[in-house]
Amino acid sequence: MIKSDQNIKTLLDQWGRWKVRENSLALGYPSIAAFARLRVDGARSSGNELLVDDDLQRVNGIIHQLRPSLKRLLACHYICAGYVKDKPAKLGLTRDAYYRLLQTAIEQTAHEMGGKYQMEFEEAARG
C-alpha cells in the first residue's frame, strides 16, 4: 500500500516541476535572437504551450487560494532550487515550524482536492 500522503506529495512535486518549466518559458527568449536555440535548459525548440492534466490545474488554483504564508512555503519547497535544509532560513522559520507548516499546507491542499487525496488522510488518522 502507498504511504497515506504519497499521492498528494507526488502531485505537488509534479506541480513544482510544471511551475519551474512555466517560469523558464517566461524568460522571454525572442524567436529572432541569434542564440534563442541555445538555451541552457536544453529545451531548444519547444513551443510556448505546456500540457498539464486537470489535477495539476486544480492544485494550481487551490494553491493560489491558500493563505499567503502557506502559498509561499509550498512555492519555496517545490519550486525553488536548493537544499531543503536551507529553505527554513530563507522563509525566516525554524526547522520545526517549517515542517509543521508544510504538513498543514499539504493537508489543506489534499482537503481542497477532496476525493482520494482527502480520504488518504482520513484513513491515516483512523490508523
Check residue 3 and give its pLDDT: 46
Query: Is the pLDDT at 105 greater than 90, yes or no?
Result: yes
Check residue 42 and give its pLDDT: 52
pLDDT tens track for 13-25: 999 998 888 776 5
What count of residues does the chain have? 127
45 or 80, higher pLDDT:
80
Q: What is the mean pLDDT of residues 69-92?
A: 94
CA distance from start to end of the chain: 14
Identify the band that residue 59 occupies on the pLDDT scale cut at 50, 70 and 90. Answer: very high
Dist CA 8 CA 91 (whole Å): 23
Extents of the domains making up the chain: 6-24+51-126
11 or 116, higher pLDDT:
11
CA angle 10, 106, 99 (to 5 degrees): 105
Check residue 53 and give its pLDDT: 78
What is the reported pTM?
0.71
Grid cell of 124 as nine digits: 491515516
Number of H helices, E strands in the chain: 6, 0
